[in-house]
Amino acid sequence: AQTVTQSQPEMSVQEAETVTLSCTYDTSESDYYLFWYKQPPSRQMILVIRQEAYKQQNATENRFSVNFQKAAKSFSLKISDSQLGDAAMYFCAYRRNSGGSNYKLTFGKGTLLTVNP
Amino acid sequence: DAGITQSPRHKVTETGTPVTLRCHQTENHRYMYWYRQDPGHGLRLIHYSYGVKDTDKGEVSDGYSVSRSKTEDFLLTLESATSSQTSVYFCAISESMWSAGGTDTQYFGPGTRLTVL
């Protein structure tokens, strides 16, 4: 079974600084997708970024970028120029893409990010 | 933002009573999902639907049933609520299950906080 591990229950960063959130996963599949979702205090789950495993290039979305290391099964999220609005719980998620029940998102337990002014 | 609403947003009920949560979408997406979120567990899939009247179980389906009579509505029923079902429930939708320009990405509703006393 696939598992997703976020080893940092909490992180903090100063406004305008850069922070990296860690995620590792375990799978025997070669075709899959990885996601970072953000959950602010409003509880809404917001997609931050998505990475296809077959793509070597790391995904970027404005101030958010990932470091995808397929061999190491690592998928970290870097937030540059942190803003107060980035404060939230961040979830890493995995989804296979090869036959069978490939619908399921497997989530990590989350990392709570605090942004200090 | 994807057009997904959930009702009610908050509910308090007593053990043994039936409860129905509603998810409504305006995106005409084929796939809909119900997750529950509990501290220390991230999000876990309860049931999902791959079309009108087509549903299947997720990893934590015991004690829950679902129905989908229209594309836009996906109902989650707790047949006899228990305290262990106190949780935050999220509905999600996706256009497809297979990656086609990211159309398999799941987008989440605002959540329903359910308390079973």
Q: CA-CA distance, A89 to A44, in Å (whole number)?
A: 10
Chain A residues whose beta carbon lies within 8 Å of the beta carbon of residue B108: 37, 44-46
Give yes or no for B10 touching A (CB within 8 A): no
Give yes or no for A63 touching B (CB within 8 A): no
> Tell me, what's the pLDDT at B102?
67
> Tell me, what's the pLDDT at B96?
72
Q: CA-CA distance, B97 to A102, in Å (whole number)?
A: 7
> Tell me, what's the pLDDT at A97?
77
> Tell me, what's the pLDDT at A102?
52
pLDDT tier at B12, thresholds 50, 70, 90? very high
Q: Is the pLDDT of residue B2 over 90?
A: no
* CA separation, residue B83 to residues A10, B38, B75, B90, B114 (Å): 28, 13, 20, 18, 10
> Tell me, what's the pLDDT at B93?
93
Report pLDDT digits (tens) over B76-117.
999 999 999 999 999 999 887 666 666 678 899 999 999 999
**Candidate from A44, A52, A103 with C-beta closest to B48:** A103
DSSP one-letter code for A62: T
User: What values do phi and psi take at B71, rounded to 5?
Assistant: -55, -40
Q: CA-CA distance, B68 to B76, in Å (whole number)?
A: 9
Contact between B66 and B49 under an 8 Å Cβ cutoff? The reply is: yes
- The token pair at A38 is 């953000």
Closest to A24 measured CA to CA, from A106, A115, A101: A106
Give yes or no for B8 touching A (CB within 8 A): no
The residue among A38, A45, A89, A92 with the most chain B CBs within 10 A of its CB, best to mutate, is: A45
Contact between B7 and B21 under an 8 Å Cβ cutoff? The reply is: yes
Cα dihedral sign for B44, A104, A37, B28? negative
**Per-chain mean pLDDT for chain A:** 92
User: pLDDT tens per residue, chain A (117 residues)?
Assistant: 679 999 999 999 999 999 999 999 999 888 889 999 999 998 899 999 999 888 889 999 999 999 999 999 999 999 999 999 999 999 999 988 765 555 778 999 999 999 999
* CA separation, residue A4 to residues A105, B3, B9, B20 (Å): 10, 28, 29, 31
- The token pair at B55 is 């549903």
**What share of chain B has pLDDT > 70, as a percent?**
92
Closest to B2 measured CA to CA, from A43, A46, A19, A114: A46
> Tell me, what's the pLDDT at A80?
97
Closest to B111 measured CA to CA, from B18, B12, B23: B23
